């Protein structure tokens, strides 16, 4: 199990492989972001996207799926997240794209009010199959401390 004490600032990871399907783009858009360029080929062709594109929020959801799968495979003692900073959608994501994530731990600290918990920041970049960044954000993670009674 990976705990707060095991995290190293500067540590990098590459993970994930998420195929974006047309069906999923349409399903997500119908339910959560029903804008024409996420739902209709002709409407999308008339926009700067040029064709049907995934919602940025869908891109976030796909990113989260890859992050959770990575946390499960690395057995991280994660406790959720208080949010993200500086979320940027850099390029559109299209059906047929293959996404992956690169992350780097950039900061960590123990919680003063909750000594059993650590807080860390990771810079996450999501790439498509052409190695173009499609999403960038700073993720804030909560993680268990191995020895909460140890001095802060």
Residue 70 φ/ψ, nearest 5 degrees: -65, -45
The model's pLDDT over 119-137, given as tens digits with 9 standing for 90+, comes to 999 999 999 999 999 999 9
Cβ 12 vs Cβ 116: under 8 Å: no
Does 50 fall in a domain? yes
**151 lies in a domain?**
no
- pLDDT for 147 equals 86
Distance, in Å, from the CA atom of 92 to the CA atom of 57, rounded to the nearest integer, reads: 11
Question: How many domains does the chain fold into?
Answer: 1
Give the other-Cβ count within 10 Å of 110's Cβ.
17
Residue 152 pLDDT exceeds 90: no
pLDDT per position as a tens digit, 66-82: 999 999 999 999 999 99
Farthest-apart Cα atoms in the chain, separation:
61
- CATH number of the domain to which 36 belongs: 3.10.129.10
The whole-number pLDDT of residue 148 equals 82
DSSP string, 59-84: HHHHHHHHHHHHHHHHTB-B---SEE
- Tell me what pLDDT residue 21 has: 98
- CA-CA distances (angstroms) from residue 107 to 6, 88, 97? 13, 20, 31
Q: What is the spatial distance between Cα 47 and Cα 18, in angstroms, rounded to a whole number?
A: 25
**What is the reported pTM?**
0.92
- Domain of 140 in residue numbering reads as 4-144
Q: Tell me the CA distances in angstroms from 132 to 79, 115, 136, one per residue in order.
A: 31, 40, 11
Write the pLDDT tens digit of every residue in 19-54: 999 999 999 999 999 999 999 999 999 999 999 999
Q: Is residue 149 part of a domain?
A: no
């Amino acid at each position: 199990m990976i705990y707060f004490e095991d995290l190293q600032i500067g540590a990098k990871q590459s993970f994930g492989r998420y195929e974006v399907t047309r069906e999923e783009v349409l399903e997500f858009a119908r339910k959560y972001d029903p804008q024409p360029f996420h739902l209709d080929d002709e409407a999308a062709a008339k926009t700067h996207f040029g064709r049907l594109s995934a919602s940025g929020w869908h891109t976030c959801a796909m990113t989260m799926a890859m992050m959770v799968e990575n946390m499960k495979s690395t057995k991280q003692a994660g406790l959720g997240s208080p949010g993200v900073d500086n979320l940027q959608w850099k390029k559109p994501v299209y059906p047929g794209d293959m996404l992956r994530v690169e992350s780097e731990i950039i900061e960590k600290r123990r919680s003063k009010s909750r000594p059993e918990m650590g807080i860390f920041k990771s810079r996450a970049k999501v790439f498509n199959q052409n190695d173009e960044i499609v999403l960038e954000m700073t993720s804030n993670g909560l993680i268990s401390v191995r020895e909460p009674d140890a001095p802060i």
